[in-house]
Amino acid sequence: MTLSDTAQVRGDIDPSLLATFPPNFQWGVATSSYQIEGAAEADGRSLSIWDTFANKPGAVYQGQNGDVAADHYHHMREDVALMAQLGIRSYRFSIAWPRIIPTGVGAVNASGLAFYSQLVDALLEHGIAPMATLYHWDLPQVLQEQGGWLSRNTAFAFADYAEAVVGHLGDRVKHWITINEPFCISYLGHADGKHAPGMRDPQAAIIAAHHVLLGHGLAVPRIRALMPDAQVGITLDFSPIYAADDLPETRQAVTSEDTFRNRWFVEPVYRGTYPETLFAEQHVAPPPIQEGDMALISAPLDFLGVNYYSRQLIGGDPDNSGSTRAIYPVPGSAHTVMGWEVFPQGLNDLLLRLHRDYAPAALYVTENGAAYNDEWDGGDRVSDPERREYLVAHIEAVAHAIDQGAPVQGYFVWSFMDNFEWGEGYSKRFGVVYIDYPTQRRIVKDSGHWYHDLLARAPGSPAR
């Protein structure tokens, strides 16, 4: 039986929209190191802040951690072969800093690099373009002990680490993402406490954010110096904010939430300044900005990576008290098991807004996807019609954005396979490939078969 034979195509993207995608469009899937690799102690890897955090009682669902995860470290060739079978054209993965420089700064660990070098070779052998993220949240614990992102030194350590990686893989990897989701690193990790390192201090989030951005800014020229033909970008997560009514207090709340949730990072990167009202509205002091920082942070990029899952809806108090509230769940809308509203129009609006307000040279949707309670039949079938519908609607939203002028050059489903969903542990499944964790068996979900089928029909497909 071939992969397509088992596909259950119910609901599909409008064929006329499929033609909108350019032939060289990067159709991909995404993962990250700590979420899939496991092999926590293999080949000289040191602890990351996520190892430490996950082992704190109560931090992660049922005390789960990434020690084994999807054991991708030992299933790498099988996983790449499966990607190839699915017709995936591009793979966004991340590199674990604790495997490359286990002491945070200093000596490079050749066996840690060897794993990624073999991964890249395997991808290229299968005709899959690698897109590498240098930091997807697994900071070496040893650096956390020296202040982590609250220390300016971490930004310099990151640039050294980036240079070490790009020096080894840059001959084969052409697309580099410095940092994944600085908002989550800063806010969830330092103010909200739900992510590593688990701090709860709004001022710390502001400082960490600046050092994360500085790390990005320091790394970019060093990547370019090594590999002048590299395409370099950053991935930001966005959650567009919408007003449920026309009240002045609602409009005010939407603007201020948008500044915090969406403009905090894109403005320094594209305009070289933090949004004017950000710090006062968040009741914090500005971060310690040194001369030259903002110029480094705003150096031109080849692309902006966009992660989009959902939106937020804000409305005024029905009792007219003058206060506002988040409307959740949204009446009449579907929601994923993360509790996130399914709102594809948000992705279309977001891509057009980014194009209009910041004019990035190119846009990639570096993550988009959904968690559902998938059920495996114990054989070779996982039925996940809601995920397929989610992907159809969001890919259509991207097509419309391209049609309306947004320079979107790729789309990556989050995720290739089920994995460790941070604080939610293994309870939330985002993959288009199911992982049976006790046996580490991979089973392509119906959505994965559908994606395969879509890619075979998309412009530029060798199967066309």
Residues lying near ligand FCB in the complex (CB under 6 A): 32, 35, 180-181, 184, 237, 307, 367, 414, 421-422, 430
Beta carbon of residue 14, minimum distance to ligand FCB (angstroms, whole number): 27
Q: Which residue, 178 or 180, has its beta carbon nearer to ligand FCB? A: 180
Distance of closest approach, residue 326 Cβ to ligand FCB, in angstroms: 18
Tokens in use for 324?
Answer: 């506002």
Q: Which amino acid is at 364?
A: Y
What are the Cα distances from residue 439, in Å, to 37, 173, 178, 204, 434? 15, 32, 34, 41, 12
CA-closest candidate to residue 412, choices 366, 361, 357: 366
Which position among 367, 386, 421, 424 bears the catalytic label?
Answer: 367
Quote the DSSP letter at residue 341.
B
CA-based torsion, 448, 454, 456, 460: positive or negative: negative
**Of 181, 386, 421, 424, catalytic:** 181
CA angle (331, 337, 343) in 5-degree steps: 50
Shortest gap between Cβ of 415 and ligand FCB (angstroms)?
7
257 flagged as catalytic = no
From 367, 364, 375, 316, select the one nearest 340 (Cα to Cα).
367
> Among residues 35 and 154, whose Cβ is nearest to ligand FCB?
35
Nearer to ligand FCB, 242 or 414 (CB): 414
In the block, residue with structure tokens 């600085």 = 182
State yes or no: is 145 an active-site residue.
no
Work out how close the CB of 401 gets to ligand FCB at its nearest, in angstroms, rounded to a whole number: 20
Q: How far apart, in whole angstroms, are the C-alpha atoms of residue 218 and residue 358?
A: 21
Residue 7 or 213 with smaller CB distance to ligand FCB: 213
Looking at 65-175, list the stretches that DSSP marks H as alpha helix, in order from N- to C-terminal side: 72-85, 97-100, 110-125, 141-144, 152-169
- By beta-carbon proximity to ligand FCB, the closer residue of 21 and 390 is 390
Report yes or no: 108 and 101 within 8 Å, Cβ to Cβ: yes
- Least distance (Å) between residue 328 CB and ligand FCB: 18
Q: Hey, which residues are catalytic here?
A: 181, 367
